[in-house]
Structure 1
Amino acid sequence: MSADSSPFHQTLAALDALHARDPRHVSVEGESVPKELWHAGRMSAWLERLHEHPDERMRLAVRGQHLQRWEVPRSEYPEGRVGYLTWRRDQGQRAGATTA
């Protein structure tokens, strides 16, 4: 089995495919990139700077933390701290369940 076909790498590719569906885009070096795909890559790079050898579970958790966040906008929750924290909790549960 090659490294790219391992279950870990297949899962990373599946997460990135979901991130790539983000309808919101950012410009990165003149190229339009799905916002969550860009963010996931940045977070993975940051993890690699913080930990010399992060394990696969940590790498997957970091890669999936904002998974499909655009599907439930913050505006669907009440204003204020409680609404924000509820939205974040719900987003984390959704992303965790999908990543699992």
Structure 2
Amino acid sequence: MPTAFDQTLAAIDALHAEDPRATTLTDGTSMPQELAYAQRMSDWLDRVHDAPDEVLRLAVRAQHLQRWLVPREEYPEGRVGYLTWRRDQGKRAGRRPLN
């Protein structure tokens, strides 16, 4: 039976898998861009942290949750536009239920 952590990770990955943008992996296959990014960040965390707890592992995996829904291009160029976009992304992600 999957643990609550495993179920949460699967729910996060299912949302990442909805990304309509694809990225090509080194083996020539493709996958949703945000899912590939999330997996890459989890691998990075395992390289730089000896024993990350579940909360940190989930935070790293979910940091770009459905980021494609609010494109960066919809905000002005420059620092203020970028920081506004990041703030709005955080608010949107914080309101998004996983189920």
Structure 2-normalised TM-score? 0.90
Aligned to 1:68: 66
> What aligned pairs does 1:79-90 form with structure 2 within 5 A after superposition?
79-90=77-88
Aligned to 2:96: 98
Assess if the C-alpha contact under 8 Å between 1:65 and 1:96 holds in 2: no
Aligned mates of 1:72, 1:44 — CA distance in 2: 23
Q: Find out whether 1:6 has 2:10 as its counterpart.
A: no
RMSD: 1.5
CA contact (8 A) 1:64 1:96 kept: no
Q: Following superposition, which runs of at least 4 residues in structure 1 exceed 4 angstroms of deviation?
A: none
Residue pair 1:15, 1:99 contacting (<8 A) in 2 also: no
Partner of 2:19: 22
Q: Secondary structure at the match of 1:17?
A: helix
Unaligned runs of 5+ in 1: none
1:33 aligns with 2:31: yes
Matched residues in 1 for 2:36 and 2:28: separation? 13
- Number of residue pairs matched by the alignment: 97
Is 1:48 matched with 2:46? yes
Q: Aligned partners of 1:52, 1:97: CA distance in 2, in Å?
A: 31
Q: Any stretches of 5+ residues in structure 2 without a counterpart? A: none
Q: Which residue of 2 aligns with 1:58?
A: 56
- Which structure is richer in relative contact order (CA contacts within 8 A, separation 6 or more)? 2
Shift of 1:99: 6.6
Does the 8 Å CA contact 1:43/1:63 hold for their aligned counterparts? yes
Question: 1:8/1:99 Cα in 2 relative to 1: closer, same or farther (>3 Å)?
Answer: farther
